[in-house]
Amino acid sequence: MALVDTDFTPFATTVLIADDDASVRRLLRLAFELDGYRTITASDGDEAVAAVRLHQPAVVIVDAAMPGRTGTAVTRAIRSDLGWAPTVIMLTGRTDVADRMAAFECGVDDYLEKPIKVSDLVERVRLHQHADLSRNSARLLGSVEIYDDLRRRLETGQPVAVVMAEIHGLRPFTRHYSFARGESLVGSLADLLLELARQEPEGLAGRLGAQDFIALVPPARAEAFTASLQTAFDARRPSFYEPVDTLRGWIDVTDRAGRTRRHRPVRLAVGVAASPRTWGTGPDEETPQVLHHLDLLERAAELARYARTAVGGPVAFDRRG
């Protein structure tokens, strides 16, 4: 097994690129090195795990489907060996919401669907690695902690609602202003979500990816919780923008090709799915209907996607059951 950069000395901005496609490895390596990162590469899952153990990179970019160990298996090994140390971003050709939820359950920090824009991937890494990130989201639970708690509630028949919140329009915002300002916006939402979750009985809040958040609340409180979240976020939103941009209601963003487009202010897209109600097997008897935690998460994520549209937004509730 041959590993790249065997004389490498670890430091904070090291990125491991694990992909079985040599052209992808070369492209990503060039992009990250041009952005100031040091890179190492691996061509399959086994090499990726060995490289993590040897070099201890700050960021791991892993393809979901590789020879040897899959991206999921690599992530599980990383988390088991290193205790959640590096940021792990998974690249995949699968577009199913269920695959995304399963990836987060195994411990990835972010998830991008192919074909990807290299500049978008570099942006994601910079957002995750920005110094403000650890300060603002350190108190948020990780995906595995949230998933374990959700699984426990469902198995014991405890009613629970999953709230998925996505920041829509973060990428043009960071390009117009700065990564630091974008992460300040994300951190403000993290603090707001934590504040609201603490006010709920057994409320929990966590972060999925660069701009996605999750909360667990009692189903009876879901509508009030999301209403408070939207109201508070909308009230804080003008503070993220320059006064002139707030007054006119948009920002102009020029992409790498020199095209300028107009973008509306960032907003939240929220999806809510609750565990099924109990159903009776007799006149005086109720039996909890068991739902797999990934099914519930998938419903909430699909509803958050629907809430991105003008028809669905800003909050979409699952009315089944």
Q: Kind of pairing, strands 251-254 and 267-274?
A: unpaired
Give the pLDDT score at 273.
93
Beta strands in the chain (DSSP E): 14-18, 38-42, 59-63, 87-92, 110-113, 161-168, 204-208, 212-217, 251-254, 260-263, 267-274, 279-282, 285-287, 315-317
CATH domain 140-317 topology: Alpha-Beta Plaits (3.30.70)
The Cα–Cα gap between 254 and 259 comes to 5
- As given in the structure block, the two tokens for residue 250 are 């948009």
* Triad 294, 297, 299: Cα angle to 5°: 110
The Cα–Cα gap between 297 and 308 comes to 17
Q: Kind of pairing, strands 279-282 and 285-287?
A: antiparallel
Say how many C-beta atoms besides its own lie within 10 A of residue 263's C-beta.
Answer: 16
Q: Enumerate the CATH 3.40.50.2300 domain ranges in the chain, comma separated.
A: 14-129
Residue 131's Cα: distance from chain center in Å? 18
The Cα–Cα gap between 65 and 225 comes to 38
Q: Quick check: 118 and 31 in contact, CB under 8 A?
A: yes
Q: Enumerate the CATH 3.30.70.270 domain ranges in the chain, comma separated.
A: 140-317
Is 86 in a helix, a strand, or coil? coil
Give the pLDDT score at 131.
44
Q: Compute mean pLDDT per 10 residues along the chain, 321 residues long, and list them.
A: 41 83 92 90 92 89 89 88 76 78 82 85 80 50 82 89 91 85 86 91 84 91 94 92 91 82 92 73 48 83 85 77 51
CATH of domain 14-129: 3.40.50.2300
Give the pLDDT score at 82.
64
Instruction: Look up the pTM and report it.
Output: 0.70
